[in-house]
Structure 1
């Protein structure tokens, strides 16, 4: 799983498309003012009376800049990206070694391709609000601007999925799809796109490809329309999401407290890459 900084774009996008205010941004976003307040907001509505446990139903995504849209890497490719999607995936399957996937399905291949950085219609999310906080505050070059955490109720999102997919979740007694469940229900992206004229969004868990997927508590969202950013889709469903704005002046405190809690690159990116990223950031001077 890679949280690619949305400011990293190809030259194919217009210059004025680099950063836009999400169309779905609430007129009253939740702007926190303290470490304690952000904990309360992130874990609000997590009590599930049916089971007597605290189990949040939100998918979280942290952004270093509050103005970044929820665009996929495929969208950032620019040009006729929707038509290029099948070519990208076809050639990835052709040149990647087949041992990288446990099963030859489009959903397995998409998961692996996204994980290793191929532009896809998938978007990275996490079950962990602390992982989202990490990704909102890991880029110290962005500490002069507000960050944000998006939260989407994936159970509510799935209520708007086509009957074929809703019934599969009900049959499994699950809240989120697996690649196996999708493979047995929908064979291709074209078949997914044709399930219903009105676009919908799914959340699914990838295979545990490596420790990054596991440690980041990661899963993906996917739209039936590759040209529709999820924040645009969410604009029609204001009751199923929240957008928490993290003021720039609060980022250092959050960052230091996350580091003390061992919520760092060293954990989320096991190996020398994560270790060097953590050490570089940890020893960088403030200001």
Structure 2
């Protein structure tokens, strides 16, 4: 795993889009998943394993209850992966972790809270072509058959129609990325995808630390956060777009018109 500290906006752009040229396609088409976090010291624990203890053992119980009580809502689900995506989307602790195809969406989540502008942030960049090399054979075969680099919920269901089967695909740890179904505009506008590991208690950062290729951590210093935030606002990467509806509108207005937080570093 590589770590790079950027010093200005231009250097940040270069780092985010590094390696995006695809020689085969003759296009700028990167195979990267991005995750932005406001504190560079934060790990990649999921909402499930952040609970600690044996909480991850309750995964199947919570998901079973969620499926039972959520039936009849406006979101049709055909597979366990649809249900898991829906549960994650609505705040149930799961083994999934949120990522995006968009580096600017990642930067939004790095800068969305002005109260955290006094600390360095981080953007994780993971090349899923590299992590796919460690996938068990059935999953690799499914990607090859579909001519894809990331999974859909439907593709995953073809290989493993339940989490127990998924966990038994390999004795060693692996991670894959899949695109959730377009549950609502929020999923679409955030250009979202999820990571999932074959162990509900596993930590993705501990797994990625052992990867020699395809994993970078870009450290965004505290003094750069306000500039990044202002330029994202100008580019219309805001809560109003990423969280469509009145709640997102209110979140955007609350942040946009918030006075400068005490102790926030000055740009110049």
**Fold-level similarity (TM above 0.5):** yes
Instruction: Tell me how far apart the structure 2 counterparts of residues 230 and 169 of structure 1 sit (CA, whole Å).
Output: 21
For residue 139 of structure 2, what is the aligned residue in structure 1?
A: 165
SS at match of 1:159: helix
| Runs of at least 4 residues off by over 6 Å | none
Instruction: Tell me how far apart the structure 2 counterparts of residues 91 and 76 of structure 1 sit (CA, whole Å).
Output: 20
For residue 166 of structure 2, what is the aligned residue in structure 1?
A: 192
Instruction: Tell me how far apart the structure 1 counterparts of residues 160 and 149 of structure 2 sit (CA, whole Å).
Output: 18
Instruction: Tell me how far apart the structure 1 counterparts of residues 6 and 167 of structure 2 sit (CA, whole Å).
Output: 38
Return the offset for 1:77.
2.1
Instruction: Tell me how far apart the structure 2 counterparts of residues 185 and 129 of structure 1 sit (CA, whole Å).
Output: 30
Instruction: Tell me how far apart the structure 2 counterparts of residues 113 and 35 of structure 1 sit (CA, whole Å).
Output: 36
For residue 259 of structure 2, what is the aligned residue in structure 1?
A: 285
User: For structure 2, which runs of at least 5 residues remain unmatched after alignment?
Assistant: 262-268
1:145 maps onto 2:145 in alignment: no
For residue 9 of structure 1, what is the aligned residue in structure 2?
A: none
Give the superposed CA RMSD. 1.1
Q: 1:91 aligns with which of 51, 60, 65?
A: 65
Residues 100 and 112 in structure 1, CA contact (< 8 A), matched pair in contact too = no
For residue 20 of structure 1, what is the aligned residue in structure 2?
A: none
1:253 maps onto 2:223 in alignment: no
Q: TM-score, normalised by structure 2?
A: 0.95
Aligned pairs for 1:1-287 (under 5 A) are: 29-287=3-261
Residues 126 and 217 in structure 1, CA contact (< 8 A), matched pair in contact too = yes
User: For structure 1, which runs of at least 5 residues remain unmatched after alignment?
Assistant: 1-25
Return the offset for 1:286.
1.2
Return the offset for 1:235.
1.5
Return the offset for 1:233.
0.5
Return the offset for 1:216.
0.2
Deviations 1:119-162 (A, max 9, x none): 00000000000000010000111001000000111111111100
Residues 61 and 124 in structure 1, CA contact (< 8 A), matched pair in contact too = yes
Instruction: Tell me how far apart the structure 2 counterparts of residues 268 and 192 of structure 1 sit (CA, whole Å).
Output: 31
Residues 131 and 263 in structure 1, CA contact (< 8 A), matched pair in contact too = yes
Instruction: Tell me how far apart the structure 2 counterparts of residues 182 and 130 of structure 1 sit (CA, whole Å).
Output: 28
Aligned residues: 261
